[in-house]
Structures are given as structure tokens and as C-alpha cells.
Structure 1
């Protein structure tokens, strides 16, 4: 009897092991446990900044925009994701001090020629990947990749950044270069209007950010 019982127990164990390992419910539970390990930090709009610079043949303009809200996903001491919303109605020009001309430029940037802010009051950025970066002369330690949505158009972008998590605070800073024509912002672009001469506006503009998020 014992000689028959031992092989039977071994056979049952071997058959049960693969069934358990392939059990969808078990796999789903493991995935939920892994996902739960990511902590959500809340963006602090009052401590975070977002500046812009746009260049043209005859000079450049700069200003800022305010974050509306956002979250940063943290796993251990690493930033692994995030989602941010920008209040486009907060767009400001800083380099023009004369109120009339400042207002004209802000109005133009708000118009259909540029960001169409009345129809698109927010822009968003969703982090899809954070990869380690070494040997960057500017001190950046990561390459951030994500989906940027402007005027309802979404494009994937990547840029270097300095990121870190310490004492319940997640931070990220850097500069992203954006090709505005990919978001249907073609006004004054030589790529589409070759004969505009010195009235041309560069296709690329930059966004310099300093993001602070807390638990």
C-alpha cells in the first residue's frame, strides 16, 4: 500500500504545481501587490514652476505657466511615473514690461494661431518611462519619456532631467524642447511658410520645469 501511495502523492503534486502557477487569479493578485507598492505623491503647484522660451529670427520671448494639479508615482526611492495638468489660462509673458504690448502678445499666444486656449484650457503630460542617465554634463540623472497633449493633440517626447526622492518629497527639474508644429502650431514657421524672411518664428520652444510633490 505504501509503495502505491508515495508515487500517487508525487504525481498529484506535479500536476497541481503548474495549475497554481498559471492561475489567472494568482497572477492578478501578484500584479495588484506590485502596483500597490507604487506610492502617489501630490504635486505642490505653489512650489513648482514651469517657464517657457520661444525664439524668432529677430529675438525671443519668455514667460511662465502654472501647474494646475498632478501626481508623481514613486517606487522605493525612484520616480516611476506621473501625470500633470497645466492651466493654460495662466500663461504670462515676462520679458515685455509695457502693458499694451505685453497684452497683445499674450492675446496672440491665446489665439487660434498658437495655443487656442479658449477651446483648450489645459495641457497635460503623462510620464510613460523613466530611464537612468549617466555622465550628463548638466547633472541630469534620468531620461523622462511621456505623452504631451497640447490643443488636444498628443505626442511622445523625451528629455533629460534631474530627479530624486528624499524625506517624503519627490522632485524633478530640467528643460524639454518641444516642436510646436507637431501640435498644429504652425504660425510663422519656415517649415510651412518659406517666404516670411525675418518674421519667422522657430519651430522649437523650450519648457523649463521644477516639480515638487509630497506624500
Structure 2
């Protein structure tokens, strides 16, 4: 499988880690997205990738990763809510600690990290709730966000793309966080429109729509 992976703009990812000491990845739900962190971790084996998400999703990803590349040991799995759906109160603090320790923090853009979606944004022509989790961490720690997505290009081949880094405002306040989140979702909207058939996040999108 590894021989059938093409990675686009990898240097932007590595340069961001070198310059800022850490980076926040926003992985999208595209073709074979469960394998994303596995192959990203292989790019830089000396850096831990700390992945955040729901327990059911992360356990599935962990199982797939162990199946394909059991030698990869630099991935951490962090559940954002308990079995009752209640956010862990210290999960945001854990993400800040990860950044301070030089880890790559992977937070899907729909994850609020317990902050609660108090704002909305346009996505694919609909008004959706806009989580601030990754942008809050980005603004607080002054590290960039990089959107990450996959695309099946032909049979058994997949392309992994690192988008150019999105840099936080030096002004650390809520308005800056909201603006960064809006810009992130604007980029996501464009990516999905360009690759509508490779995106697998329509169920999540439906749940995010403000009705």
C-alpha cells in the first residue's frame, strides 16, 4: 500500500514543524482517511502525532493502522468525550500540552474540543455550526493549521495533500479565533467542491446544519 501513496506539499508540513516546533492538522473525511495519520507519522518518525476524535472513530483508525503498519509507534489516540457523550474537561489542556511538547496535533475541523459551537459559517451553501477547537489552540499557541485530505486517483492509488499553512493572527482574542475558523472552513468548502465524490463527511455535515 505504501508504494501507492503520493504525498503533495509535504515540505510545507515539515517546514512548519521546523519553524514553529509543532503544527495542527485538520484531517478531512475523504477516501481512506482512516489511514491518514498512519502515513503522516511515517513521514516524520521522530515526531508524535496526537490524534483527537470520538472513541468509536479512533478505535477504528487504530485498528486499521495496526493492521497495515504495526511498526508505527508515534501515534497517540485521545478521546474527546466519554461513553455518555460528555466532553472530557481537560481535553483542551491536553492539546495545549501536546503543542508545548512539540507534537503534531490532529483535530478534525468539526471537533469543538469542548468549547461548544457558538458561531455559524456557510459550508456547501448551508449554514452550519462552526467549532472553534483547532483555531482556538492555533491562536493560543501561535502555531499554524494545515488542512489535510486524500483523494483516490486511480485503482489502488491515493493522493495525500497538505494544504498551505493557515497562520494565526498575532492578536490573541476571540475575534481572531473566529476569523481563522471562518477562513479554514472557506478552504474546506473549496476542497470539497473540487472533490465532491471523494469526501465522506456528508453525515457529519448534515448534523452540523443549523435548522
TM range (shorter): under 0.3
Structure 1 or 2: more helix by fraction: 2
Q: Which has the higher contact order (CA 8 A, sep 6+)?
A: 2
Structure 1 or 2: more strand by fraction: 1
Which one has the largest radius of gyration? 1
| TM-score, structure 2 normalization | 0.24
